[in-house]
Structure 1
Amino acid sequence: MRLIAAALMMLPALAQAEEIAQVGVDWVGNDIVIEAIPDPDVGGVTCHLAYFERSVLDRLSQGNWFEDPSNSAIECARTGPVDVSRLSPGRPDDVFSEGRSLLFKSLRVKRIYDDRNKVLVYLAHASELSEGSAKMSMSTVPLLPEDAAAR
């Protein structure tokens, strides 16, 4: 049991999303959910992620009870001082993950630090156990000369 707890503590901390709005899109109760996700490792960057959430009526009529679509949109903005000193350029880092089905599908946000161009790239994509998905969305946050380690 201690070994499992120690392993869990070594996992990178993923951001916690805060739901800021739901937009109804049809009469059966399907919604677009918008969540704010602060970057836990950088600070000063908040991403807004929008995704589709199926209603109970839609699940009954379509028959697929345990899965939501993979579609998503992301936009990220500077909300304070940015510190990239702990990031490794070019390496995709997990920022956020949320299940989109009962077991095997998740919606993920990854960050890539483009040191050469002084930009943070945020990629939202679906991840499935057996096959990948081409559904993705991307946002960039330009770094300023005063940002830590962006010189």
Structure 2
Amino acid sequence: MKCSMVALAGLALLLAAAPAFAEKVGEVSTEFIMTGPNSKIVIEAFDDPLVPGVTCHVSYPTKGGIKGALGLVEERSEASIACRQIGPIALPGNLKEGEEVFSKSRSVLFKKLHVVRFLDRKRNVLVYLAFTDKLVNGSPKHSISSVPIMPWR
């Protein structure tokens, strides 16, 4: 009984430290493609897994067509992010600078969209940075969003 409770506690800690999962909010078509799905811009939302009270929305382009439908195209290194306070913010003591809070594969091999979190202690603001990386050659394209830590109502 004790071992199973310890295992469950360990699993809960592991899941709490894992990057967030996103929920699809919507999408718009940007290019009509006759031979498969259209190219689109997708919007997803995720809650910061370690900081309750913060939700981020990230948008990124997806390539359509047959290769896009099969996941064989390398997606562009572009993303936009907006994060907001949606409830009381309670900063945990184990907050790490540059900690990944969200990631998503952007190609078959070695390219990912990442969102990392920083705390600007001087200004009492959480800063979220969205960027893509690639095994050999990443992209300097990025987007940031700031969330001031304010009292909630």
Give the TM-score of the pair, scaled to structure 1.
0.81
CA RMSD of aligned residues (A): 2.3
1:55 partnered with 2:64 = yes
Letter in 1 for 2:81: I
Report the counterpart of residue 75 of structure 2 in structure 1. Answer: 68
What's 1:46 paired with? 55
Paired position in structure 2 for 1:20: 25
Q: Deviations over 1:42-76 (max 9, x none)?
A: 0101000000011025759xxx9331111000000
Residues 137 and 129 of structure 1, relative CA distance in 2, 3 Å threshold: same
2:150 aligned with 1:141, yes or no? no
Structure 1: runs of 5 or more not aligned: 1-5
User: Superposed, which structure 2 residues align to 1:2-151 within 5 Å?
Assistant: 12-28=17-33, 29-57=38-66, 59=68, 65-88=72-95, 91-144=97-150, 146=151
Indicate if the aligned counterparts of 1:30 and 1:58 stay in contact, CA closer than 8 A: no
TM-score, normalised with respect to structure 2? 0.80
Retained in 1: the 8 A contact 2:62–2:68?
Answer: no
- Whole-angstrom CA distance in 2 between matches of 1:87 and 1:116: 18
Taking only the aligned residue pairs, the percentage that are identical comes to 39
Structure 2: gaps (5+ residues): 1-9
CA distance in 2, matches of 1:132, 1:27: 28
Q: Is the 8 A contact 1:87 1:113 kept in 2?
A: no
- How many residues are aligned here? 135
Matched position secondary structure for 1:130: coil
